[in-house]
Structure 1
């Protein structure tokens, strides 16, 4: 299947087959899509909570209560669920961990290159801290990871459901997000759709090319 066919085929699942579980090798590839997602200055300002059993999914589903209760079955019935979180701050310890990992992975020809990367990344972090929009910046990076996850799922024949409809306070309480310096960005259910999923039978609808694209 070529890329255009993958893009046309993937859709947002509305109901999951509780009897089908993602194979371990497929899960590993989906997690790799998250891990290797790009981020501005490679800051990797995120953390991913993965639920692969009933208890974990129930914990994520605490955020699908009240006006968001319609999302609970999509979480509880899926094979796997990922809660994508963005870091609310980028403290020196995190930046040092990223720099040390880059060093271990052979990213620097020498100390000058390492120091240049440290200054560049630190400069961007300071820029957003001073502008007061660092949390918004990191949320944008989390959505890059979301895009990679959804495309990877489509390429692997996995159904997915991204959800912004959740109670952030409930998820904070369930996972201790604030104390970890995290904020929930989006929940993604993963698995195989049920026969009852009406959205699987509907044609994809997008605005036409001439509406969306203009020559610069």
Structure 2
């Protein structure tokens, strides 16, 4: 099956089979997909919390109970739930950690190459921190690149998924102690296998026609 066929087949699952669990090997692959997601200037401004136990999923579900009760079952019945988190600040420590990892991984041929990478990433970071003043929004964009990677990747393993913005981030941040660690919850993803109540699995895909969404020049 081609990647386009997987994209056309995937859907946002509205109900999961609570009795089916994703194999550990597949979860390991999805973790690597997330870790290798693209981000602007390799900024990687994220952290991922993975819940695989009933207790862990129940903690996440607390953030949906008030205001978003329709998402509770998608959380507790899923095989696994991911909380995709965004950094709350672009810190110098994070920038230096990125540089050190890149050096460890052999990305710099010499000191000039390392200095160039430091300067390039600092330039973009400072642009969003001090000039555009949209650093949080910029970092959220990178997290959504990871979300897209995860959703399409899950489809290639025939894993059903549903992204959820319907939750109380303040409640979840407190429950998981995220803000003390320099992160905030941005989007949830339930992963598993479609259940009996997943009406969306039976509906045809609907997208605007190619002529509407593309312009060839």
TM-score category, normalised to shorter length: over 0.9
Task: Summarize deviations over 1:133-156 as a string: whole Å, max 9, x none.
Answer: 100000000000000000000111
Does 2:108 correspond to 1:103? no
Q: Is the partner of 2:152 in helix, strand or coil?
A: helix
| Distance apart, 1:115 and its partner CA | 1.0
- The whole-number CA distance in structure 2 between the counterparts of 1:117 and 1:64 is 41
- The whole-number CA distance in structure 1 between the counterparts of 2:127 and 2:212 is 35
- The aligned counterpart of 2:82 is 82
Q: Is the partner of 1:67 in helix, strand or coil?
A: coil
- The aligned counterpart of 1:191 is 192
With normalisation by structure 1, the TM-score equals: 0.98
Does 2:22 correspond to 1:22? yes
- The aligned counterpart of 2:183 is 182
Gaps of 5+ in 2: none
- The aligned counterpart of 1:201 is 202
Q: How does 1:134-213 map to 2 (within 5 A)?
A: 134-213=135-214
Q: Is the partner of 2:67 in helix, strand or coil?
A: helix
Q: Is the partner of 1:64 in helix, strand or coil?
A: helix
Deviates more, 1:206-215 or 1:45-54: 206-215
After the TM superposition, list the runs of 4 or more consecutive aligned residues in structure 1 that deviate by more than 3 angstroms: none
- The whole-number CA distance in structure 1 between the counterparts of 2:173 and 2:28 is 26
| Distance apart, 1:212 and its partner CA | 1.2
With normalisation by structure 2, the TM-score equals: 0.97
| Distance apart, 1:172 and its partner CA | 1.4
Count of matched residue positions in the alignment of Structure 1 and Structure 2: 216
Q: Is the partner of 2:13 in helix, strand or coil?
A: coil
| Distance apart, 1:124 and its partner CA | 0.9
Task: Summarize deviations over 1:97-131 as a string: whole Å, max 9, x none.
Answer: 11111011000001111111111111111111112
Does 2:66 correspond to 1:66? yes
- The whole-number CA distance in structure 2 between the counterparts of 1:179 and 1:122 is 24
| Distance apart, 1:32 and its partner CA | 0.9
Q: Is the partner of 1:62 in helix, strand or coil?
A: helix
Task: Summarize deviations over 1:17-55 as a string: whole Å, max 9, x none.
Answer: 111100011001111110000000001000000001011
